[in-house]
Amino acid sequence: MKILALLFLSVAVLPLAATETADTVAVFTADNLWIMIAGMLVFMMHLGFAAVESGLSRAKNCTNILFKNTLVPPIGILTYALCGFSLMYPGSNWVVGHVLGFQGLGIADPGSGMAYNGHYTYWTDFFFQAMFAATAATIVSGAVAERIKLNVFLIFTLIYVSIVYPVVGSWGWGGGWLAELHFHDFAGSTFVHSVGGWAALAGVILIGPRLGKYVGNHSMPFMGHSMPLATIGVFLLWFGWFGFNGGSVFSAAPDQVSLVLVTTTLGACAGIIAAMLTAWTLLKKPDLSMTLNGCLAGLVGVTAAADCITPAAAVIIGAVSGLIVIPAVLFFDRRHLDDPVGALSVHLVCGIWGTLAVGLFSTNPEYSFKIQLLGVIAVGVVTFPSAFLIFYLLKRTIGIRVSEEEELRGLDLGEHGMEAYAGFQIFSNQ
């Protein structure tokens, strides 16, 4: 009888176990697939940055900007493979408290399949995170456009992305001291956008404004050469942001991913409307470039809290982002901090606002305004001096700015010996 009972139980239980295993594998496959797709969307954002930056700059510098944006992803991904991933996610291998950790050089699969995480593989984790790594340097590219030496920018990118970005990121995303305090930055308002924004500020201060930009107390308008290109770039970035934020759920859980996509979209839409109205009021015209930056401002602002706010809160955060980005552009301009694409206003100012907004609007009581403010200050205190030091050393050694003749002629011919629009007459101010 006992033997018969055991046989009966085995026949009854085995199908259930097989079903549970099949369901687990199916969920794992869906999670892993979504994060891989999200990583591809984030990669496409580099095309968006290239289009925005080149469109908002003058035609004589278009090739130079496209070249920089072509080099940023491979530099970021290769250095992330060499040491960035290890610095950012040290596991238990902390060297200095929970401030600095390191697992070792290179990437090596510690295990395959579901054994690694339960939602995605080791390689998917690296692939997705590597797509983020170069974004901070891309932010710097736009702010110092039209006058920085190409070799200087590439050297800066190499150092900043391989060391500064992952170390600071480890404080929150790698389980460091900010994570222990429940600092929350869902997809990078601070760890990506502000990190890039602080570096951009250091670069803008040290390199100075473009020739002829400021005459006395007046700011001379340097119009972008292609608003269609800039508009295409913003829509590419908006589309890529669905992977940027949606993939940061780190699963394909329908309720979580769908909420994030909705809050992301609402933040962008509110940013556009608020920026349009603000620019129309302050500048007396509905400025397209300001409105496009309002879209990016809303996206940057909502990124820190996209997973823990209501749709109504997303609208408020996005609207405030669009509202403050225009005065921020005017503020930096009055201080003669020449930023051709508005990167300081979009990524630094709105990155800070979005991070603080977590403490104001989050539905999770663990996230406090004080800790969010602490995180903002801590990241700024480290990243700004680090970027300033890198740029300063480069300035003192090889120089960071092209010659006056080369700047007037255009970096396309000066740095690359080619034109973006060969065969077309390009006026000196374009």
Please check whether residue 234 is in contact with residue 377, taking contact to mean a CB–CB distance below 8 angstroms. Answer: no
Range 19-36 average pLDDT: 86
Nearest to 375 by CA among 166, 185, 167, 174: 185
Tokens of 422: 């060969």
* Residue 20 pLDDT exceeds 80: no
Please check whether residue 103 is in contact with residue 97, taking contact to mean a CB–CB distance below 8 angstroms. Answer: no
Distance CA(123)–CA(320), nearest Å, equals: 38
* Residue 15 pLDDT exceeds 60: no
The predicted-structure confidence for 185-240, as pLDDT tens digits, reads as follows 999 999 999 999 999 999 999 999 999 999 988 888 899 999 999 999 999 999 99
Tokens of 32: 């892993």
- In this prediction the pTM is 0.92
Provide, rounded to the nearest whole percent, the portion of the chain with pLDDT above 90.
83
Please check whether residue 43 is in contact with residue 101, taking contact to mean a CB–CB distance below 8 angstroms. Answer: no
pLDDT category of residue 47 using cuts at 50, 70 and 90? very high
Residue type, position 370, single letter: K
Distance CA(73)–CA(416), nearest Å, equals: 19
The HSE-up count of residue 350 (CA atoms within 13 Å, CB side) is: 36
Please check whether residue 140 is in contact with residue 340, taking contact to mean a CB–CB distance below 8 angstroms. Answer: no
Distance CA(63)–CA(61), nearest Å, equals: 6
Please check whether residue 190 is in contact with residue 304, taking contact to mean a CB–CB distance below 8 angstroms. Answer: yes
* Residue 259 pLDDT exceeds 80: yes
Range 119-138 average pLDDT: 90
Question: Phi/psi of residue 68, each to 5°?
Answer: -60, -45
Question: Phi/psi of residue 314, each to 5°?
Answer: -60, -40
Distances (CA, A) of 57 to 163, 284, 376: 29, 23, 30
pLDDT category of residue 2 using cuts at 50, 70 and 90? very low
Please check whether residue 140 is in contact with residue 203, taking contact to mean a CB–CB distance below 8 angstroms. Answer: yes
* Residue 168 pLDDT exceeds 50: yes
Residue type, position 305, single letter: A
**Partners of 148 in the β-ladder:** 401
Range 232-253 average pLDDT: 97
Question: Which ranges of 284-403 does DSSP label H, i.e. alpha helix?
Answer: 288-303, 311-334, 343, 350-361, 369-397
Distance CA(36)–CA(32), nearest Å, equals: 6
Residue written as token pair 């609208």 = 315
* Residue 359 pLDDT exceeds 80: yes
pLDDT category of residue 118 using cuts at 50, 70 and 90? confident
- Residue 214 CB neighbours (<10 A): 16
Tokens of 131: 């797509």
The predicted-structure confidence for 83-100, as pLDDT tens digits, reads as follows 999 999 998 889 988 999
pLDDT for 276 equals: 97
pLDDT for 73 equals: 95
Please check whether residue 63 is in contact with residue 73, taking contact to mean a CB–CB distance below 8 angstroms. Answer: no
Please check whether residue 156 is in contact with residue 68, taking contact to mean a CB–CB distance below 8 angstroms. Answer: no
pLDDT for 426 equals: 53
Range 397-419 average pLDDT: 94
* Residue 16 pLDDT exceeds 50: no
* Residue 112 pLDDT exceeds 80: no
Nearest to 167 by CA among 391, 382, 380, 348: 382
The HSE-up count of residue 36 (CA atoms within 13 Å, CB side) is: 12
Please check whether residue 117 is in contact with residue 126, taking contact to mean a CB–CB distance below 8 angstroms. Answer: no
- DSSP-derived letter for residue 309 is S
* Residue 335 pLDDT exceeds 90: yes
- Return mean pLDDT, the chain: 91
pLDDT for 116 equals: 83
* Residue 249 pLDDT exceeds 80: yes
* Residue 427 pLDDT exceeds 80: no
Distances (CA, A) of 263 to 24, 214, 259: 29, 39, 6
Name all domains of the chain by residue range, CATH numbers in brackets. 27-416 (1.10.3430.10)
pLDDT for 143 equals: 95
Provide, rounded to the nearest whole percent, the portion of the chain with pLDDT above 70.
93
The HSE-up count of residue 247 (CA atoms within 13 Å, CB side) is: 29
* Residue 158 pLDDT exceeds 50: yes
pLDDT for 425 equals: 59
CA angle 176/43/345 to nearest 5° reads 70
Range 368-389 average pLDDT: 97
